[in-house]
Every structure is written in structure tokens, then in C-alpha cells.
Amino acid sequence: MSTALNDARPALTMLSEDETMFRDAVRDFAEAEVTPLVSSMDAAQELDRGLLGKLFEMGLMGIEIPEQFGGAELDFFTSVLVVEELSRVDPSVGVLVDVQNTLVINAVKRWATDAQKAAWFPRLAGGMVGAYALSEAGSGSDAFALSCRASQDGDDWILEGQKLWITNAREAEFFIIFATVDPDAGYRGITAFVVESGAEGFTVGKKEDKLGIRASSTCELVLDGVRVGADAVLGEVGVGYKVAIETLNEGRIGIGAQMVGLAQGALDHTIRYVKEREQFGRPIGNFQGVQFQLADMATRIEAARLMVYNAARLKDAGQDFLMAAAQAKLYSSEVAQSVASTCIDLYGGYGFTREYPVEKYYRDAKIGTIYEGTSNMQKQTIAKMLLK
């Protein structure tokens, strides 16, 4: 009987030994280096520049970049672990690293020429932050209704237009810009270009004053006659829609990891609190009603984590992960909001103040159902896959 029960238990192989050691190292880094800065960065709405340098020193900003270019040459799943652990402490830092690795570096890795990789990868691994500029005022969920234009002038391209809600814009020096070279061609006219900060006519504009993830910069970009060479085209002319779609599919797994980390961080703080906070002569964690809420949150977080990990494993294995990514992003973002809300309830009045950390997790959680594909868009993707 005992043997049968032991055999029925899930195998503890969700992470390999190397993955566990790496995760623990990132967790220790986050606790030591990020935790002391969370409140001040949120209040200032700005990432600490010293912390940014430490993220590069740790190798967390070039996880999948080959070693020959200064990167860690690890897999996509490792990027997911990093985003989760950083987001457990501060989702603003988590999304900075997420965009760098799951969007920017993944796009370069898949679509850049060998010459472009040799030019860009050492810099992206060594201190250059990247940003991914697709969204515009008139193209949110309808991502390819772009007004940003690219016109050819000899061998060069001239970019005109605006981008909105661009994560990492303040810190970035490397921007993947999506523009259309032929409006009449629809999505087949969209092309991805690389623009570096300092280019003439390129301006990082207004920084958004956001509800949550306030230390993460979110800005508009203005392109006023920005000239780039032919070597700035990422992929081929007219295949920008493929660059965007395929990269975003991977990026959704990263957002799922961010939301899992956020939910876990909120729960961790709450478990400590309910063991200390006393009412009616005993810790509130001794009350069954509180215990049931903790159990429910822990179970839902674990389910979301497994969905995120499964999608990442499928991606690394070269298998179809589209529906798994959509499901992971949808579910984890909903879990994060629910868990953060319940944690505030368990803190009571204290949870509604900025003196305690769960208030920030609650604000940070809201973005999960919006960016990199709203929850409704994830549902539409899932339904299409089911009905195919």
C-alpha cells in the first residue's frame, strides 16, 4: 500500500537540478538587490540605474544569446524562470527582463542575419536594453492597423509615425519598430526595422502615468523622418507581421510567468502576515476560513505555473505551443488579479495602505489581462484552435 501511494505521487522533476540552482540564484539576487528598491522605484516611477547594471552583470538580460556574443546561451524556459522570480519581488523589473529576452532577443535570434546578430547580440548582452514597438493609438488588439509608414529612398528607409505604450522606452537604446511599406497590401506590407536611440528624428516622448508596474517605463515614440539603412530591416520586407505574431506568441508565456511570480509574491507576504496578525486572541492563520483561502490561492497559482512551464517546454521542444501560450497567459493573469485581491482582504485595512506590499501587487496585476493580447484575444485564439 505504501509503495503504491509513493508511486502515485507526482514526480519532483518539474525543474532539473541545474534549473533549480539557477532559479534559486535569481531568487537570492532578487531578494538582496531588488527588494530594497521596490518602494522607492514605484514612488519615483523609475527603474534604478544601478539595478539595471546588475541585471546585465548577472547575465539576466541576454539569456538566450550565444556565448560567443557574450550571452548565457540558455533556453527559453530559463528566461521564464527568471521573469517569474524577479516578478515575485517586483513585476516592474520582471517585465523589463521579459521584454528584453522573450521579445527583443527572440526576434533577433529568429529573424536576424548572421551579420546582424554579430552586430547586435554583443551589445544586447553587454548593456543595451531593447524595446519592441508595435502598438499605436489606432492599433491595439487590431495590431496590424498601423499608421506608421516606411518609404524607400535609394537603399535607405524613411520612417514616419508614432508608437504608444512602449515598454522599456526610457531605458532602451535598441528599438524594433513595425511600420508598413505598402498600406494597400494590408498585413503583407508590414516590415520590422531596428532603430537605435540617438537616430536623427527619433524621440522618446511622453511617459505614461500608470496604475501599476510604475517603475517600468511606458512611453510614446515619435519618428519624424528617421533614416535607416537596408541593414536595419529585421527579416524581409513585408514579413513584419510574421515577426510580430511569432514573437508575441512567445512573449505571452513570459507575461504568464510575470503573473505567476506576482501572485506567488503576494501570497508569500500574506502567509507571513496571517501567522503574525492576531485577532480574538490567536493568529488569523489559525482560522479555517483563512486557511481555506490560502489553500485555494496556492492551488490556483500552482496550476497557472504548470501551464506556463508547459507552454515554455513545448516552445523549447519545437512543438506547437500557440494554444498553450494563450491559455497560460489568460489563466495566470486572472489568477494574479484574484490572488492579489484576496491577499488585500486578508490584510484587512492594512492591505489598503502603501505601508504593506500587497497593495502594489494588486495594482501591478491589472495589466496582465491587457498587454501582449487582452484576455478576450486569448479566448479568441483558444476558440479558433479548438474549432480548427
pLDDT value at position 14?
81
pLDDT reading at 11 higher than 60: no
E strand map for 181-270: 190-196, 202-207, 218-228, 233-234
pLDDT in tens, 94-106: 999 999 999 999 9
pLDDT value at position 143?
72
Q: How far is CA 47 from the centre of its chain?
A: 15
pLDDT in tens, 267-279: 999 999 999 999 9
Q: Which CATH superfamily hosts domain 131-239?
A: Butyryl-CoA Dehydrogenase, subunit A, domain 2 (2.40.110.10)
pLDDT in tens, 44-56: 999 999 999 999 9
Reported as a pLDDT band with limits 50, 70 and 90, residue 312 is very high
Please tell me which residue, 141 or 219, carries the higher pLDDT value.
219
Reported as a pLDDT band with limits 50, 70 and 90, residue 36 is very high
pLDDT value at position 7?
37
- Which of 99, 102, 227, 97 lies closest to 166, judged by CA? 99
What are 365's three cell numbers?
A: 496585476
Assign domain 242-387 to a CATH class: mainly alpha
State how beta strands 218-228 and 202-207 pair. antiparallel
* Residue 363 to residues 209, 354, 359, Cα–Cα distance (Å): 13, 11, 6
What are 219's three cell numbers?
A: 512611453
Summary count for the chain: helices (H), strands (E): 13, 10
- Which of 343, 323, 337 lies closest to 368, judged by CA? 337
Give buried/exposed letters for 346-366 (b at 16+ CB in 10 A, else e): bbeeebeeeebbbbbbbbbbb
pLDDT value at position 147?
94
CA dist., res. 335 & res. 331, Å (int): 6
pLDDT reading at 73 higher than 60: yes
pLDDT reading at 9 higher than 50: no
pLDDT reading at 1 higher than 80: no
CA angle 99, 299, 253 (to 5 degrees): 20
Reported as a pLDDT band with limits 50, 70 and 90, residue 208 is very high
pLDDT value at position 3?
37
Assign domain 2-129 to a CATH class: mainly alpha
pLDDT in tens, 137-188: 988 778 778 999 999 999 999 999 999 999 999 999 999 999 999 999 988 9
Given a contact cutoff of 8 angstroms between Cβ atoms, the answer to whether 181 and 150 are in contact is yes
- Determine the residue type at 18: D
Beta carbons within 8 Å of 253's beta carbon, 6+ residues apart: 76, 80, 102, 308, 311, 312, 315, 321, 325, 328, 329
- Determine the residue type at 159: L
The mean pLDDT value of the chain amounts to 95
Domain boundaries, the chain: 2-129, 131-239, 242-387
- Residue 214 burial (10 A CB sphere; 0-12, 13-18, 19+): buried
Indicate which residues carry an active-site annotation.
Answer: 372
Asked whether this chain's domains 131-239 and 242-387 adopt the same fold, the reply is no
CA dist., res. 63 & res. 27, Å (int): 16
CA dist., res. 197 & res. 205, Å (int): 12
pLDDT value at position 16?
92
What are 107's three cell numbers?
A: 526576434
The sign of the CA dihedral 20, 117, 220, 42 is positive
CA dist., res. 61 & res. 80, Å (int): 12
What are 142's three cell numbers?
A: 487590431
pLDDT value at position 2?
36
Q: How many residues does the chain have?
A: 388
pLDDT-above-90 percentage for the chain: 93
Residue with cell 503583407: 188
pLDDT value at position 307?
98
CA dist., res. 65 & res. 123, Å (int): 11
